[in-house]
């Protein structure tokens, strides 16, 4: 290993350039680019302030390692697979540490971010505290950028080629500015251009450690490099644990990136938030390795081989449970799902005992109750393993036994009345509660952004218009605040068939409810609406709410917290 230094401009020119000593590339063990516009802008400010850039780590090799190029014109829609290049046995440099910084530099100095190019405020640079921005950079559409914002790569281009001195470029920039530019502003521009030349073109500001596997191929094998990559990244926050574990998998499996990308795209096409971390944990469980994340598991060649060999079946099991969640519950997007970890025992069942999958009863109860109570919150690895052990012992998913295991782990499956009644409009908890509430009926809710639409029984327009006298000030004040308007006792789900309660709009319950029950005898029971017409009147909003709270709590009685202890008969799972 030896230490090297170079200028930022020369390093960026060498990215993706096979003619430049083989060029610098990204091995497939690297995760995707994740930095935001703001992070890139702060990097350029740091460089202008002469803050040091962390040392890069580069592996030079002739091995036919799967690798990809740095992306010049970044778009959020790009896939990792779009950047891969043909493998070859030529000498080349693989960046093991420093991807985010180098990718940011090539975007800022040679490309764009979602169609916007990096601009520099040539009048910035006044002294600022370390935590504040001193040199202002911003990604702007070229058409909307106005002086003193200038395209930064254009400022550097002529200086980098030796065509112009910094003073000449500064004069050009000032000439493009407003007439009558003050001497102080002109000096600020000159100073900033000179500093930009110094930091990006002249000074060797980038240091990197070079692992030379070209002159001595045996010094750094692929396995050695993966281990170095993990150790270099595991001490900080640059990579998550799933990224590090995935790097081990990718070293064995050339198509790991593409396959994972395709799976996540399919899982999340309707708005779910499944991620690589969840997929890897689920696969470990399915392969009999337990739920706990440990690098040693991925170091085992047999585990990595099992991933590759069984990937189709592993991914099919995850997709089947995702389809079940989407098709059998109202939890159709990430906003409605508090945690995905409780799905792993079901995924294990689907993978290991596929014949039992469709015959298993109580799956909906299991998902909804565990999500509602947060039974798999925190670190549930041991709980997942115990559920899996139960499935193996019985060759089946027995709901009562699984619930017993959860309770014996010190986790509650019952909820308090306050949890139900305290739920508000649009919150994730509300989707779970409505799921339990309506799923015993042949009822399909209307969807908006893959979320069941919730409607107010007493309309917001009416409640917002109501005033009362404030006895302390003698002035009128709002009678019903948002918290009271949006409580679950004033909410119901819209139907897909009617897309709302027959277009009730701002009508009061005393007007629109009679229209509904005329053609729908089960309407009141389904929506838990008090049957006394007096309660539907505008003056009785709060009485209506109290009566409906009682009906809601009665519906959720099987789920409410009881004095039951572990070992006693399990509560009835079906709703009353």
Length of the chain: 576
Residue with tokens 């999958």: 357
Q: Tell me 6's DSSP state.
A: E
Closest C-alpha to 65, from 16, 12, 26, 21: 26
- pLDDT over threshold 80, residue 307: yes
Tens digits of per-residue pLDDT, 104-123?
A: 999 999 999 999 999 999 99
Mean pLDDT value across the chain: 86
Tens digits of per-residue pLDDT, 529-563?
A: 999 999 999 999 999 999 999 999 998 887 776 53
Residue 479: CA count within 13 A, CB half-sphere:
15
> pLDDT band at residue 495, thresholds of 50, 70 and 90?
low
Q: What is the dihedral of CA 318, 322, 328, 331, to 10 degrees?
A: 140
> pLDDT band at residue 565, thresholds of 50, 70 and 90?
very low
Q: Which residues pair with 467 in a beta bridge?
A: 478
Domain ranges within the chain, ordered by starting residue: 2-207, 240-415, 443-555
Structure tokens at 54: 């962390």
pLDDT at 94: 92
Tens digits of per-residue pLDDT, 239-290?
A: 455 665 676 777 667 677 788 889 999 999 988 999 988 999 999 999 999 9
pLDDT at 499: 44
Q: Which residues pair with 261 in a beta bridge?
A: none
Structure tokens at 451: 């979320």
Closest C-alpha to 300, from 240, 231, 251: 251
C-alpha to C-alpha distance for 431 and 451, rounded to whole angstroms? 8
pLDDT at 476: 86
Question: What's the whole-model pTM score?
Answer: 0.62
The whole-number average pLDDT for the span 15-19 is: 93
Tens digits of per-residue pLDDT, 379-413?
A: 899 999 999 999 999 999 999 999 999 999 999 88
Describe the chain by its helix, strand, coil percentages, rounded to 5.
50, 10, 40
Structure tokens at 538: 């505008």
Cα distances (Å, whole numbers) of residue 451 to 270, 447, 501, 559: 10, 5, 17, 23
- pLDDT over threshold 90, residue 318: yes
C-alpha to C-alpha distance for 119 and 139, rounded to whole angstroms? 6
> pLDDT band at residue 576, thresholds of 50, 70 and 90?
very low
Cα distances (Å, whole numbers) of residue 155 to 11, 122, 186: 18, 10, 15
Residues 332/447, Cβ–Cβ less than 8 Å? yes
pLDDT at 255: 75
Q: CB neighbours (10 Å) of residue 480? A: 19
């Amino acid at each position: 290993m030896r230490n090297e230094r170079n200028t930022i401009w020369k390093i960026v020119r060498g990215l993706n350039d096979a003619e430049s000593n083989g060029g610098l590339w990204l091995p497939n063990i690297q995760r995707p680019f994740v930095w935001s516009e703001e992070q890139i802008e702060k990097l350029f400010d740091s460089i202008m302030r002469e803050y040091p850039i962390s040392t890069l780590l580069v592996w030079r090799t002739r091995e036919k390692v799967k690798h990809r190029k740095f992306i010049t014109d970044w778009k959020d829609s790009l896939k990792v697979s779009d950047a891969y290049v043909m493998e070859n046995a030529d000498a080349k440099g693989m960046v093991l540490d420093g991807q985010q910084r180098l990718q940011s530099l090539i975007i800022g100095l040679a490309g764009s971010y979602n169609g916007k190019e990096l601009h520099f405020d040539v009048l910035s640079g006044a002294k600022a505290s370390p935590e504040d921005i001193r040199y202002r950079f911003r990604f702007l559409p070229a058409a909307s950028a106005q002086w003193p914002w200038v395209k930064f790569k254009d400022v550097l281009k002529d200086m980098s080629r030796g065509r112009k001195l910094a003073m000449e470029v500064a004069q050009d920039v000032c000439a493009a500015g407003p007439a009558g530019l003050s001497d102080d502003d002109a000096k600020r521009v000159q100073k900033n251009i000179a500093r930009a030349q110094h930091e990006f073109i002249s000074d060797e500001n980038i240091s990197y450690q070079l692992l030379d596997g070209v002159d001595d191929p045996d010094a750094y094998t692929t396995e050695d490099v993966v281990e170095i990559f993990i150790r270099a990244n595991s001490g900080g926050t640059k990579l998550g644990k799933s990224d590090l574990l995935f790097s081990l998998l990718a070293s064995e499996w050339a198509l790991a990136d593409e396959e994972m990308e395709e799976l996540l795209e399919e899982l999340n096409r309707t708005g779910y938030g499944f991620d690589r971390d969840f997929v890897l944990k689920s696969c470990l469980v399915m392969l009999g390795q337990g739920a706990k994340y440990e690098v040693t598991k991925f170091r085992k060649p047999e585990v990595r081989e099992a991933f590759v060999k069984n990937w189709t079946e592993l991914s099919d099991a995850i997709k089947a449970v995702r389809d079940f969640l989407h098709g059998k519950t109202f939890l159709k997007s990430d906003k409605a799902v508090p945690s995905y970890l409780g799905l792993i025992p079901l995924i294990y069942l689907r993978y290991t005992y596929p014949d039992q999958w469709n015959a298993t009863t109580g799956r909906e109860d299991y998902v909804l109750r565990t999500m509602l109570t947060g039974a798999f919150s925190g670190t549930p690895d041991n709980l997942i393993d115990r559920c899996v052990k139960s499935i193996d012992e019985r060759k089946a998913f027995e709901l009562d036994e699984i619930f017993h295991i959860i309770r014996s782990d010190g986790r509650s499956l019952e909820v308090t009345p306050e949890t139900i009644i305290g739920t508000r409009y649009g919150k994730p908890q509300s989707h779970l509660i409505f799921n339990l509430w309506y799923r015993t009926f042949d009822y399909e809710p209307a969807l908006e952004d893959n979320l069941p639409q919730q409607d107010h029984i007493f309309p917001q327009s009416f409640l917002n218009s109501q005033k009362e006298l404030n006895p302390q000030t003698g002035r009128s004040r709002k009678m019903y605040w948002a918290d009271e308007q949006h409580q679950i006792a004033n909410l119901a789900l819209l139907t897909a068939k009617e897309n709302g309660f027959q277009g009730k709009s701002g009508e009061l319950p005393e007007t629109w409810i009679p229209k509904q029950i005329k053609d729908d005898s089960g309407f009141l029971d389904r929506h838990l609406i008090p049957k006394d017409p007096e309660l539907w009147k505008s003056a009785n909003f709060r009485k209506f709410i109290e009566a409906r709270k009682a009906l809601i709590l009665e519906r959720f009685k099987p789920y409410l917290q009881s004095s039951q202890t572990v070992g006693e008969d399990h509560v009835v799972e079906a709703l009353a």
